[in-house]
Structure 1
């Protein structure tokens, strides 16, 4: 191995003697100026403070021996083939012991859980014996450098040590695999536990949301079975549909205002002679128009649509299964997967949204053209609101025919108010701002002005229709 070592600095006395010798030589040369020095003679240069001894090619010496050396080399130690073989043998046995310790330690960890006392004891003995073996190798090395026992330096023993190292490595792999599989099972159990907690939390949140905002969510219908279907489930779906109708009415009024429509005139055209002035009264008139269009032919199993005649032969369970299937179709683009729902959506849009109305809103008939073509549905806020409303009514239609005996009804204009089959829209306790504070002349008359939301009879239960009193 090569290495450098700085020589000790020369003493001051030696340095002073060197300077004196140089000065004496200079005086002797100046005294004999007549004798010209030859090129072979040793010339003496004039020293300056800016110069150093390294500027001269020669090394100043005294008595023929160098007094300063920058570095020196130590002769490289050469190993014989026997020493190399001994070193390789030592390393082979050392790595064999290390791999054995690693495998035994992994086995010791696996034996902790589940607790295996016999395996723990054997692993502990293996670790101790291998540490003792490493200690013997260390002591044999330090006693006489690379001189180790003959049993170690034997070539056959070296091969056995290498095989032992590879065997210990292979032995550690199944142990590591078992440990990873155990960790994976533990993580899977944790995931299942967290998923169960998440599902429970979602159910609690859905219950709280349905209690705070009835009709905004179909979460109470989760996990519903035909044998457990009750009129309360139908009422939940009805509230869900009515809220979507009111949301679409908001979007419709927004488009009317943008198109500068006379909202009072439009509302009076829908319900002439009975409507009082005010934003809420206008909204109720628009809501009655939407309900009249969307619930038209609701009592037919086929919704009186061409191509759906086979639905007239469906049983109650078939309608219930369709409701469960459609509940998971949330994106508008996936409605094409259900031809019956898509046909209902197209038919109701073309009958509810008049071409003049669409042209006034958007300046074109792109919505109608896209829906009529059957290629795709428009991806706009207006059509998305309509599609959500139509799908919720379709859900209600499926649940409606999941009951054995059911019907739909509405109150005629001018008929006498009945508390059994009707309720005033001013008495409906909703969070929506369509039905806020009651009018000043509430219940001024018991005559029905028009029906806002139709009523239903499901089994022996009557769901009152909502009416606007004249």
Structure 2
């Protein structure tokens, strides 16, 4: 079968060469004897009929032992025959363009012929390549080059593995440094608070004192949120997809604005849903007299302020958050047993909790009583009751509405302490 296939292939090649050798000419001649001549191209169909084809019979040994180089040479010959056929047709079109004489057709046909000729000449490189690979010396040279490059690849791969190991160690060192920096930052913040805060808010109940407490509470919630965001980034939280209940339907103007949603979550958790028995003016002056709120907790762990701290920690800091930050739930377990952990994290939380506790206590005993209010999502923005935390407002406030409340406001009789809100461009409804 293989020998027969080789003979058919050789015969086909010879037949194609014979067909290509037929020369076509185009000319104009007068009719002789009233008998029109056939088409010049069709008339040439008999050209080369006298040629004899002597096919070379391929032996069984030759057909079975054909190498890849021989097959490649045969492919080159096939391409060459195709190219010569195309070149032949292109030349015929050049001749036809002269009869009748048409300069435009001549130019087009000439360009086509030149293109075919260029393609045919390109087959030379293919044939040279065949000859190179048939040379054992060339194959040996290429093989040695391949071996050298493979050896280099192995060396580079080993170097990459070494660099990866170094990168893992450096990343671990970086994480440890970031944790140390965060701990130092917490200590610096605490010392700065001792220097700057004199706790001279005063005794008794007054609107001025309440406004100072509101500002201090808002500032402490904001600072605690910054600490939480830092821990979340360090623990691998993706803030772009993390949603808190307060902001689940909001599209942020900037990625960095996600912090306002987290701040709103903690403000809501700290200010809402607390037992009234936790707020008493009898212990207010004593708790606020300590420079460090943690000292007040250590002196009276089960005081109204101490119970408020424990309840709010369990509500505000979810299990999944604490576990991702510290790798355990030791803080929660200690708080549930009635204690207050001696850690920088809980220390910062206690600082925030004291101002919130003081704010709620004074709000309860003010005359008239301070009433807290939140603004619902979609409500039209109003300067009298609201303050934006991010957006620079324009004159066209009718198109601006509330995305969510970051820090609630308070109404004290006819006086209003504006709430802080995050704005969006949704359709607004009346307040």
Q: TM-score, normalised by structure 2?
A: 0.48
